[in-house]
Structures are given as C-alpha cells and as structure tokens.
Amino acid sequence: MSPYEALYGVKPRQMCIPATCRSAIETVQDFQIKREVMNQLLKDAIQLAQNKYKMYADKKRKEVEYKVGDWVFLKLQPCRQSSVAVRRFLKLFHNFFGPYQINARVGSIAYKLTLLVGSMVHPVFHVSLLKKKVGFKYTVTTELPKMGHEGQFLVYPV
C-alpha cells in the first residue's frame, strides 16, 4: 500500500501507459520517455543508497556463532538504570553476568541459556548480548538481579 492510499483510502490515479504503446501525440510520447527515465534514476538511486548502508553496517557487524554447550557471559543493559539508583561510576560496575551455558539455538541469531533457578529474566537472548567465556578463571557476578512486578530490576544497598 502506498502512503497516498493509506492516507486517502483510494489508490492514486496514474497515467499507466505501457512502454510498448506509441502515441501519435508528441507531448504524450515525451511524457512517457521522461517518466521511464525518472523511474530508472529513482531505482538506481535507491539501489546505490541501499548498497552504501549495507557496506557501513557490514563494517560494524561480526559473524558470531556459538555451539550448544558453550559457556557465555550475558550482558544485561537494564542493570545500569539510573532510575533505580544514581551511581557515579557506571563504567566500573559489572557489565556481564555469568557464565551461563547455551541450552539451544533459537533461530539464526538468538540463543537460549540455562539460567539460575528462580531468575525472572527470559532465557532467550540476541547474539549481541553474549560474550564467549575464555579460560577457567573469572570474577563476575553469577546472580541475576531480582525483578519486581512491573518488570523493573530491584536493587537494594548491601
């Protein structure tokens, strides 16, 4: 559906003249040629813009793939909320929780993790929130923060 059709509820009127149809009137023939040229220019410009966007997006994208049974760290961004408690040095707090084991692959870019019993976080995460565990030594918090009834993380001072 075009934006015009969505706004007015009817299809826009178009002068649909087939490219094979030749007109005896020179003005109609010029209009048809200009319209075909303009359509081709627009298609080329859109294709060029899409290729440019794809090139810049692919520069920042990395193909990460995990296997079932791998251990990964989990990044939970809502833990850094300023609405729960105002913290002065956010960059010094833990960014990753875990390690957790990958239980299953869901789709092409999501994984289901085996979380702790009682955690109220959905166990399926996008690949961008995971970081592979390397080595055997780690000092990261394993307990996920508790969630309230409204879906916010409950944080209490120790």
- Tens of pLDDT along 128-156? 888 888 877 655 565 666 777 777 777 77
Alpha-helical regions (H) of the chain: 3-8, 26-60
How far apart, in whole angstroms, are the C-alpha atoms of residue 33 and residue 41? 12
Per-residue model confidence (pLDDT) at position 122: 83
Per-residue model confidence (pLDDT) at position 48: 96
> DSSP string spanning 22-64?
--SSHHHHHHHHHHHHHHHHHHHHHHHHHHHHHHHHHHH----
**Environment class of 133 (CB within 10 Å of its CB; exposed 0-12, middle 13-18, buried 19+):** middle
What tokens were used for 51?
Answer: 């290729």
How far apart, in whole angstroms, are the C-alpha atoms of residue 143 and residue 30? 72
Q: Is the pLDDT of residue 82 over 60?
A: no
Per-residue pLDDT of 10-47, as tens digits, reads 877 766 666 666 777 888 788 888 888 888 898 999 99
φ/ψ of residue 27, rounded to 5: -65, -40
Per-residue pLDDT of 44-67, as tens digits, reads 999 999 999 999 998 988 888 888
| pLDDT classification of 119: cutoffs 50, 70, 90 | confident
Per-residue model confidence (pLDDT) at position 116: 80
Q: Is the pLDDT of residue 7 over 70?
A: yes
User: What share of the chain in percent tops pLDDT 90?
Assistant: 14
End-to-end CA distance of the chain: 56
The chain-wide mean pLDDT, for the chain, equals 78
Q: Bigger pLDDT: 103 or 141?
A: 103
Q: Bigger pLDDT: 101 or 86?
A: 101
Domain residue spans of the chain:
3-60, 71-154
| pLDDT classification of 84: cutoffs 50, 70, 90 | very low
User: What share of the chain in percent tops pLDDT 70?
Assistant: 74
